[in-house]
Structure 1
């Protein structure tokens, strides 16, 4: 009997372990905790097992698996134990008809995420499905099963509605089986949801990622308390009037660098020392406690004037640094490229903005804008950070069920990425920034004498201006006020 009980306990633990293996964490020795829980189906006591582990992109998560020995009810759930991300995120995937294999993309859905399929006018609100680790196919099939579960009762109450739902379930299953084209959208204000890119590290033509600033309502839903000054300002501004400068201003002044403030200061002080460091009160982005932010202005030769802001929280230890562009939004975007040939080129300073994409043609690498955020580093440091980012996403790519060919592809790509730093062959680093807020430092005093560095300006497309919020930006009020001041 004792051996049978031990085997049963091992099987229950594997319910949680199987979920962990799906994300391929390296911490196989993490303890599994269990508690008695009430079964909501038969109202008898079952067992819930918990495992705290670490997965890529989301830091710590809490996996839970429930099983009732009386009625056989089983379920599992994923909850995020780490911090809420600075911005919300929207993942959008375009599926074509007959694309069954692509429906196996892994999806991490947090408890605050909303799933949408515009073609069906279908939406799964956060409260309808808990946090889960699944695939696109699994999420759609689960939604169809939940709709089907109450159909017998609906047919007794309202047969017409039940018939309409039956037709809708067929459409939903057609999406889940790849028989029809559709768009899969997951919108998460907490920024903790994720959709796998099966072509990684190459770009995915079907997948687009958008990051956005949360509204006050979304902040409140995540548990943040509004800043008193913001509440007061909202009371003054009418609901139908957009405050001047709010449209597009966030995109236009988005942080160029986020990292260790001491490292940023050390890099920038090589150009000019700040004449004045200003300090003003602010609110911690992690715990909402009052803290201080320090700001100074400096000028980078051949680039532009920038504003450096650094804040730290004594309560939770959160640190944040931002480097914002000064002056007006550039009229054109630019593409900066450098041919890396020697050790000196690896030491070139690099400012990569949040709106810049990174391309290394020799290894077919392309990072879309928003990837890695904004950073102040060197050419060598940028390659290292890309490699570290790939290490973090290995949890979604190196599982036991992964095809051997895909695993070899990842390992070969990482080896080629690290090989860039050995400089066995020249290679090219390209940064394409629609806001011209990115920069690669020249290797000589005069940028004209640096023949390995090229800067190409281009006109932004309407789509790029729309994404940055520039098409809706209205500066007429500010222009009129500025002109009237100069006339007087």
Structure 2
């Protein structure tokens, strides 16, 4: 389903829900092409109202919460809200807690404390920051003051690394430069074969008539 987000772009939202097991998936595919540069969006949440801001997180992005020195990579694109993103972190961490408590109880205790910290963010008792590192340049956080600038949102563009380009499918295969002083016999033989093939096809079928020349002789 194509969805238009105000003051942004169109995105394709794919939604799936299984009535038997309860599994749900809501993923995002940007309808626009990858931008020339990546971007880093820093948002400052000041009150509970900010938790309702819509958020677009493209595939390959990383969301960080500097106050807790934590980051979460996204393998799928997501359309949600600030509250929805943080709630998703909590749900994902909680999903494996039963296994952690049996196998790594110390780690489970630390994660439980971190989950409690994330829950306090939902109340916005004090301001916190949320950073989206988006190599594709298609990420978005809703601007309540649009079309004017929002002082709570800071956007910084950057040149992608080769690894990020490869992740986005933009990395071209390296081409080794040819050395004019070295002749590869295999390459030469293939070139001769191609020349004769095209001469045979075009000239024999009278697509192009050969030019007569005393200095040129074709053997076929």
2:104 equivalent in structure 1: 158
- Secondary structure in 1 matching 2:111: helix
The CA distance in 2 between the partners of 1:179 and 1:160, in whole Å, is 28
1:221 equivalent in structure 2: 167
Over 3 Å counting, the alpha-carbon distance change for 1:205 and 1:53 in structure 2 is closer
- Which string of whole-angstrom CA distances, capped at 9 and with x for unpartnered residues, describes residues 370-425 of structure 1? xxxxxxxxxxxxxxxxxxxxxxxxxxxxxxxxxxxxxxxxxxxxxxxxxxxxxxxx
1:101 equivalent in structure 2: 49
Deviation of 1:53 (Å): 4.8
Matched, 1:67 2:17: yes
Picking from 65, 68, 71, the partner of 1:120 is: 68
- Secondary structure in 1 matching 2:115: helix
Deviation of 1:80 (Å): 1.9
The CA distance in 2 between the partners of 1:164 and 1:197, in whole Å, is 35
The CA distance in 2 between the partners of 1:113 and 1:153, in whole Å, is 28
Number of corresponding residues: 176
Matched, 1:91 2:41: yes
Unpaired stretches in structure 2, ≥5 consecutive residues: 178-220
Q: Does the aligned pair in 2 maintain the 1:154–1:161 contact within 8 Å? A: yes
Deviation of 1:186 (Å): 0.4
Picking from 114, 119, 122, the partner of 1:176 is: 122
2:136 equivalent in structure 1: 190
The CA distance in 1 between the partners of 2:2 and 2:52, in whole Å, is 25
1:204 equivalent in structure 2: 150
The CA distance in 1 between the partners of 2:19 and 2:109, in whole Å, is 36
- Secondary structure in 2 matching 1:111: coil
Larger radius of gyration: 2
TM-score, with structure 1 as normaliser: 0.34
Q: Does the aligned pair in 2 maintain the 1:137–1:177 contact within 8 Å? A: no
Deviation of 1:89 (Å): 1.1
The CA distance in 2 between the partners of 1:92 and 1:210, in whole Å, is 8
Deviation of 1:105 (Å): 1.2
- Which string of whole-angstrom CA distances, capped at 9 and with x for unpartnered residues, describes residues 19-38 of structure 1? xxxxxxxxxxxxxxxxxxxx
Deviation of 1:55 (Å): 4.4
The CA distance in 1 between the partners of 2:147 and 2:12, in whole Å, is 28
Q: Does the aligned pair in 2 maintain the 1:174–1:180 contact within 8 Å? A: no
Deviation of 1:158 (Å): 1.5
Over 3 Å counting, the alpha-carbon distance change for 1:70 and 1:85 in structure 2 is same
The CA distance in 2 between the partners of 1:193 and 1:131, in whole Å, is 10
Over 3 Å counting, the alpha-carbon distance change for 1:149 and 1:180 in structure 2 is farther
Q: Does the aligned pair in 2 maintain the 1:108–1:134 contact within 8 Å? A: yes
- Secondary structure in 2 matching 1:155: helix
Unpaired stretches in structure 1, ≥5 consecutive residues: 1-50, 233-488
- Secondary structure in 1 matching 2:109: helix
Deviation of 1:217 (Å): 1.7
- Secondary structure in 2 matching 1:133: strand
| Higher RCO by CA contacts (8 Å cutoff, separation 6 or greater) | 2
- Secondary structure in 2 matching 1:102: helix
Picking from 5, 10, 28, the partner of 1:78 is: 28
